[in-house]
Chain A
């Protein structure tokens, strides 16, 4: 237990500390691309409220949970402590980008870190409102309800239109769905900003950041 810790500290103070990893660990990469795929599919392809949409939402939730666990238990550069939100440092970094000479960081740069927290917060809002809209039904339950309705048993629909569901209730539901929509669009906007950021950083830092999030340098 003690050995890897001390070694990791030694390696963090060495060459690795002056630049981000040339290849992120597999958990970071899997959660990154998994969430990216789930968000894109749900925003642009799947039918709202469908079984696929709900399943992908739960998948994104699982990936987000995994990433948060990894942010506490993972290796040094994947941990939250390596990229705490720091707006002042982010601003400084953006100004450095304009001058074309940036400091290098062992993990995400401060601007990228802020982007990540903004993305996670929006994703959490999308997931929470989505859960509210489906009444917290797991994909299994949604599938079971769908099957029941398909077989002619409409009782599964009853809980949604529970008698004289008051006007406030449906008003609240509309608001929640509105928030779901807005936060989802915010996610897409942040994703676009993120792609632009990766492009600019890669040019200024003269590092292929995309490689670090995919397969790294195949030849060594």
Chain B
């Protein structure tokens, strides 16, 4: 989760930098266009003016292409963000349903979620304002209701479904 968040933050920074660049480009172009119009009024026939007009036209094109590219980057980031949220929502739905089918109490569900997020007993106790002994007892009840040996198996229960590939026969045989 943190890795994907980092990726999105990086993407956000990238679009911000691109926007800033586009902005500076636009400023330069607007000043240049003003200059060309000034030249046009004072001396329309000079080669200098024609050259400047061509440069300005290419600058304008650059802005349009830049804006288009930036739009696509922003939309791509949004799609990624949404896919991530959908995946998150789907997983937490799955976990919720599984917790219900195990008959966990609301308190146990909370503790179970926090445990799946990777918090240790001390952290969970602090978050919930409970004693560490209470949390440890709740975790034990959760594991027994789920029929798993401990924390690793508890977490693996949900990850297993996400990992499509089956365990190779050789690995199973070796155990």
Contacts and interface: CB of A to CB of B under 8 A. Distances in A.
Whether A and B are associated in the same complex: the answer reads yes
Interface stretch (B61-69, B109-117, B119-127, B152-160): B61-69
A136 B74 contact: no
Interface of B: 5, 15-16, 18-20, 22-23, 26-27, 29-31, 34-35, 37-38, 41, 63-64, 67-68, 70-72, 74-76, 78-79, 82
Contact of A25 (B15, B30, B34, B79): B15
A32 to B, nearest CB: 12
Among A73, A140, A141, max chain B CB count under 10 A is at A73
A120 interface: no
Nearest to B36: A138
Contact of A138 (B19, B31, B67, B78): B31
B68 A30 contact: no
A80 interface: no
Contact of B71 (A16, A30, A73, A138): A73
A65 interface: yes
Q: How large is the interface on A (under 10, 10 to 19, 20 to 34, 35 or more residues)?
A: 20 to 34
A34 B22 CA distance: 14
User: What are the nearest 10 A-B pairs in CB distance?
Assistant: A26-B19, A62-B30, A62-B27, A73-B67, A138-B34, A66-B26, A26-B16, A4-B75, A27-B19, A8-B75
Interface of A: 4, 7-8, 11, 14-16, 25-27, 30-31, 34, 58-59, 61-63, 65-66, 69-70, 73-75, 136-141, 220
B79 A7 contact: yes
Chain B contact residues: over half helix, strand or loop, or mixed? helix
A61 B31 CA distance: 10
A27 B34 contact: no
Contacts of A15: 82
A61 B67 contact: no
A70 B69 CA distance: 12
B73 to A, nearest CB: 9
A11 to B, nearest CB: 6
A19 to B, nearest CB: 14
B63 to A, nearest CB: 7
B6 to A, nearest CB: 11
A57 to B, nearest CB: 11
A66 B34 contact: no
B5 A220 contact: yes
B79 A11 contact: yes
A69 B63 contact: yes
A75 B74 contact: yes
B172 to A, nearest CB: 40
A60 to B, nearest CB: 10
Given A27-B70, A65-B30, A4 B22 contact: no
Nearest to B34: A138
A27 to B, nearest CB: 5
A69 B5 CA distance: 31
Contacts of B19: 25-27, 30
B20 A139 contact: no
